[in-house]
DNA sequence: TTGTAGGCGTTATCAT
DNA sequence: ATGATAACGCCTACAA
């Protein structure tokens, strides 16, 4: 494990000079720089950024905390974040909460122990203990939320206009001639799912469509019973001609059942999902869905965090991205 | 940012004693421990594990390097790794290579800079520069490969018996009466894909099935042209009655095209995929596939790495997990 | 059981 | 342009 000390010994230079070389300080002659780099290469020197972090108070590591790695949306956003951060010379460490607020707390504390320079979070479905966010504020760790955020907080955020997403999806179904649309709703604890539902309801209202409570269809966590419930819904209301699901997977449930009942999609019933998950394009028929602009969200989140890290004056911003409807065969 | 120094000042004890408390040293009286913990809580003390790492040479962080976070298989394995490692009190940091060997190199160096205690890798499709693995060996960083590994290396590994997977998938199709099966092959640079193909070929051989080169169908990276090529294959060989794809997504391609040609699945043509990706169960018909035992692989990989970290004697092991066929409607 | 002191690898502040 | 030195927060002989 060669250190700058070894390089100093071998070159006859001082520690300070070696350090300057690796920090791209302009105050070092080309000749010395050459010599240092040569010896460093010979010694297979690798800077110890832990030590640097200890001294400088900056770790150049930022923590990313998301509910689930194995989720198309989060994965894409993280990739966007990663890309930007790498350009800035930052490493990111990713942890998942698996939708547990206990784990969320644990991982955040773990981030703090690692002295991360900043934190990016998308919260769990379980309501988060608000004290943790206060703690983060006390510690003055820059924090940016994306997509999912706690009901009350005092940090910056980057979100999608989920209300708009729900509305354009529903409006599209209406434009395609649907008269009796059902919304497959998501978890009530998650604000973005609420927003999508409100978008749905508002679209119906704006078009003077009738609305009954059965048009908000709530799912359980059990796949099998979900399927049965949807099946019952269809027999109870045979004139249903459209579904807007809060997530692509749930759109898939519905498609699955409709296919097994030999219902013609899209001629008898049209379907729209949410998320533009990668499989949606491969389905038969391909699924109309709402694109969340994951990559852009990631980049924007990263940029926002960097602004907070670089400037001490704390200006909290709320940025809202606009979703985009991707029309495919399931509604056309 | 309270440190043990602050706690020492407040309690009137020495640094050493405080340190001992947080390292669960038995050599500290219950009374002192109580007092220290109390003051620590008041001061919102968070141990600086970076500093501890610098001093002790142990970071309690392990690096996980995978091609893509947003991939069902890798995501699940990582979750398995994470679970086990957390039990051992280790943090994991995840990075992705996006199948680029340059990035792979970069991330590994970044791991070394962070002084990780161990590294878990699944390599890229691009052949990796073998010097990096030598470097890791020189540095004595414990390394365990999973699933994808370099052709030549000297570390432990945990893999799936992909040959077996290819064989049972093919045998299943043969048992179901298929006479003319085509394999949708994967990237030639990836050993696991080669193995799946060999399993396919061996199954044909064992059953005395004829074999022609067109039965190995190679994909390009372009989705659209892939579809066209598969379409052509089907018109050139109208008696094809079975497909074994090296991955579920490619099985999906085939299903998609067959559906658009109104081919009866599974009565006319049967399909088997590989991976047991989450969407396979939701397709219509549901897709028969080979399960890779992701979670178990993750746990086993983690355990193997821990063994290497804890004992200095280096015993390289090669562990092979057995895949399992999941029979669904697409072949039944 | 507790304290003292040196050092892990780096950077920052002075000097020179 | 370069050097000397203290300090970051913690651990660990060794001493008491």
Q: Both tokens of residue A121?
A: 């979070």
Q: Count Cβ atoms below 10 Å from residue A33 Cβ, excluding itself.
A: 16
Partners of B63 in the β-ladder:
B93, B119
Question: Torsions phi, psi of B99, nearest 5?
Answer: 65, 15
Which residue's CA lies closest to nucleotide C8 at its C1' atom? B55
Q: Per the CB < 8 Å rule, is B50 touching A50?
A: yes
Q: Which residues 1-40 in chain B have a CB closer than 7 A to strand D?
A: 1, 3-5, 15-16, 19-20, 22-23
Strand D: which residues 227-286 of A lie within 7 A (CB)? none
The reported pLDDT for the residue numbered B49 is: 85
Residues B64 and B135 in one domain: yes
In chain B, residues with a C-beta closer than 8 Å to the C-beta of A78 are: 69
- pLDDT of residue A310 exceeding 90: no
pLDDT category, A5, cuts 50, 70, 90? very high
Rg of chain B over all Cα atoms, to the nearest angstrom: 26
Task: Round and report the angstrom distance from CA (B55) to C1' (D13).
Answer: 14
The CA-based angle B45-B48-B49, given to 5 degrees, is: 135
pLDDT digits (tens, 9 = 90+) for B46-55: 888 889 888 8
Please tell me the pTM assigned to this model.
0.85
Confidence band of A133 (pLDDT split at 50, 70, 90): confident
Question: What letter would DSSP give residue A266?
Answer: T
Cα B152 to chain centroid, rounded:
19
Q: Are residues A41 and A62 in the same domain?
A: no
A163-173: pLDDT as tens digits: 999 999 999 99
Query: Who among B91, B95, B279 is closest to A279 (CB)?
Result: B279
- From the list A44, A50, A256, the residue facing B54 with the nearest CB is A50
A206 touches strand D (CB under 7 A): no
The answer to whether the C-beta of B58 is closer than 7 A to strand D is: no
Residue A220: helix, strand or coil by DSSP?
Answer: coil
DSSP assignment of B79-126, as one string? HHHHHHHHHTT-EEEEEE-TT-HHHHHHHHHHHHHTT-SEEEE---SS
Is the confidence at residue A138, as pLDDT, over 80? no
pLDDT band, residue A255 (cuts 50/70/90): confident
Residues A188, A204 within the same domain: yes
Q: How far apart are CA A59 and CA A301, in angstroms?
A: 19
pLDDT tens track for B167-223 = 999 999 999 999 999 999 998 888 899 999 999 999 999 999 999 999 999 877 776
d(CA B149, CA B189) in angstroms, rounded, equals 11
Nearest CA in chain B to A89: B110
Minimum mean pLDDT range among A161-170, A294-303, B3-12: B3-12
Q: Counting Cβ atoms within 10 Å, is residue A244 exposed (0-12), middle (13-18) or buried (19+)?
A: buried
Considering the domain architecture, whether residues A85 and A179 belong to the same structural domain is answered as no
Residues A268 and A176 in one domain: yes
Contact B96/A82, CB-based, under 8 Å?
yes
pLDDT band at A68 (very low <50, low <70, confident <90, very high): very high
Query: In this structure, are A169 and A259 located in the same domain?
Result: yes
Q: What are B268-299's pLDDT values in tens digits?
A: 999 999 999 988 887 778 899 999 999 999 99
Average pLDDT, chain A: 90
Nearest 10 degrees: Cα torsion B85, B65, A157, A68: -50
Residues of A in contact with B282 (CB under 8 A): 249, 252-253, 256
Q: What is the mean pLDDT of residues A266-273?
A: 96
Spacing of A61 CA from D14 C1' in Å: 37
Averaged pLDDT for residues B89-117: 87
Regarding whether A278 and A172 lie in a shared domain, the answer is yes
pLDDT at A119 over 90: yes
Q: Are B78 and B128 contained in the same domain?
A: yes
Are the C-beta atoms of residues A20 and A13 closer than 8 Å to each other? no
**Does A189 share its domain with A212?**
yes
CA–CA dist A300, A157 (Å, integer): 10
Does residue B70 register a pLDDT over 90?
no
For residue A142, pLDDT beyond 70: yes
Local structure of residue A170 (DSSP, 8 states): H
Structure tokens belonging to residue B48: 């600086």
Q: Best-predicted range by mean pLDDT among A168-172, A264-268, B126-130, B226-230?
A: A168-172
Q: Which nucleotides of D are covered by protein (CB under 7 A)?
A: 1-13
- Which residues face A93 on adjacent strands? A63
Where do runs of H (alpha helix) occur along chain B?
4-11, 15-22, 30-42, 49-56, 72-87, 101-113, 131-139, 162-175, 191-206, 223-236, 248-260, 294-310
User: How many Å separate Cα A230 from the centre of its chain?
Assistant: 29
Chain A residues with CB-CB distance to B61 below 8 A: 114
Here the CATH number for the domain that contains residue A287 is 3.40.50.2300
Is residue A83 pLDDT above 80, yes or no?
yes
Mind listing the pLDDT tens digit for each residue in B206-220? 999 999 999 999 877
Would the CB atoms of B69 and A78 count as touching at under 8 Å? yes
Average confidence (pLDDT) over A74-98: 91
Q: What is the pLDDT of residue B174?
A: 97
Which positions of chain C lie under 7 Å from any protein Cβ? 1-13
Alpha-carbon distance of B140 to B121, in angstroms, equals 15
Whether residues A10 and A23 share a domain: the answer is yes
Given a cut of 80, whether residue A134 has pLDDT beyond it is: no
Q: How confident is the model at residue A271 (pLDDT cuts 50, 70, 90)?
A: very high
Structural domain tally of chain B? 3
Q: For C2, which residue's CA is nearest its C1'?
A: B17
Number of Cβ within a 10 Å radius of residue A264: 10
CA A48-B132-A111 angle, to 5 degrees, is: 40
Please report which confidence band the pLDDT of residue B120 belongs to, taking 50, 70 and 90 as the band edges: very high
Q: Which of B4-8, B79-83, B161-165 holds the top average pLDDT?
A: B161-165
Q: Report residue A299's pLDDT band, with 50, 70 and 90 as the boundaries.
A: very high
Find which of A241-245, B106-110, B257-261 is predicted with most confidence, using mean pLDDT. A241-245
Tokens standing for residue A230: 């949807």
pLDDT classification of B61: cutoffs 50, 70, 90: confident
Residues 80-139 of B with CB under 7 A from strand D: none
Contact (Cβ atoms closer than 8 angstroms) between residue A272 and residue A331: yes
Strand D atom within 7 Å of B60 CB: no
Q: How many Å apart are CA B104 and CA B107, to the nearest integer?
A: 5
Tell me if the bond preceding B316 is cis, omega within 30° of 0.
Answer: no
Q: According to the model, what pLDDT value does residue B312 have?
A: 66
DSSP 8-state class, residue A314: -
CB atoms within 10 A of CB A48: 18
Tell me, yes or no, whether A210 and A251 share the same domain: yes
Residue B38: which domain range? 4-47
Contact A113 B75 (CB under 8 A): no
What is the per-residue pLDDT for B191?
86
Q: Which nucleotide is nearest to B30 (CA to C1')?
A: C1
Contact residues on chain B for A112, CB-CB shorter than 8 A: 46
| Interface touch B46/A109, C-beta < 8 Å | yes
CATH number of the domain where residue A10 is located:
1.10.260.40
Does B39 or A109 have the greater pLDDT score?
B39
For residues A298 and A156, membership in a common domain is answered with yes
pLDDT, tens digit, 9 for 90 and up, residues A194-234: 999 999 999 999 999 999 999 999 877 776 777 788 888 98
Distances (CA, A) of A116 to A58, A142, A164, A170, A299: 8, 9, 35, 42, 19
pLDDT class of B231 with cuts at 50, 70, 90: confident
How many whole angstroms separate alpha carbon A280 and alpha carbon A289? 8
Q: What is the pLDDT of residue A227?
A: 74
Taking alpha carbons only, the member of A284, A27, A61 closest to residue B95 is A61
């Amino acid at each position: 494990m060669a250190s700058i000390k070894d390089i100093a010994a071998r070159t006859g230079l001082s520690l300070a000079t070696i350090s300057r070389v690796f920090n791209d300080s302009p105050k070092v002659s080309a000749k010395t720089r050459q010599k240092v780099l040569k010896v460093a290469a010979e010694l297979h020197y690798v800077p110890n950024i832990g030590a640097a972090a200890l001294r400088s108070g900056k770790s150049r590591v930022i923590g990313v905390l998301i509910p689930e790695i194995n989720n198309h949306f989060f994965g894409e956003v993280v990739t966007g974040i990663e890309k930007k951060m790498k350009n800035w010379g930052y490493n990111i460490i990713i942890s998942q909460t698996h939708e547990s607020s206990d784990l969320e707390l644990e991982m955040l504390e773990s981030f703090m122990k690692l002295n991360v320079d900043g934190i990016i979070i998308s919260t769990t479905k379980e309501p988060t203990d608000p004290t943790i966010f206060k703690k983060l504020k006390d510690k003055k760790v820059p924090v940016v939320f994306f997509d999912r955020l706690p009901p009350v907080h005092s940090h910056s955020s980057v979100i999608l206009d989920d209300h708009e997403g729900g509305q354009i999806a529903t409006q599209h179904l209406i434009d395609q001639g649907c008269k009796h649309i059902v919304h497959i709703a998501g978890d009530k604890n998650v604000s973005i799912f609420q927003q999508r539902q409100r978008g749905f309801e508002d679209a119906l209202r704006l078009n003077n469509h009738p609305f009954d409570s059965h048009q908000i269809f709530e799912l359980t966590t059990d796949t099998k019973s979900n399927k049965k419930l949807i099946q019952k819904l269809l027999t109870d209301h045979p004139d249903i001609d459209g579904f807007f699901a809060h997530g692509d997977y749930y759109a898939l449930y519905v498609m699955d059942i409709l296919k097994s009942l030999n219902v013609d999609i899209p001629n008898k019933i049209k379907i729209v999902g949410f998320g533009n998950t990668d499989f949606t394009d491969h389905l038969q028929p391909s699924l109309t869905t709402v694109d969340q602009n994951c990559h852009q969200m990631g980049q924007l989140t990263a940029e926002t965090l960097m602004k907070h890290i670089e400037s001490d004056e704390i200006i909290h911003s709320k940025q809202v991205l606009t979703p985009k409807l991707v029309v495919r065969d399931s509604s056309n």
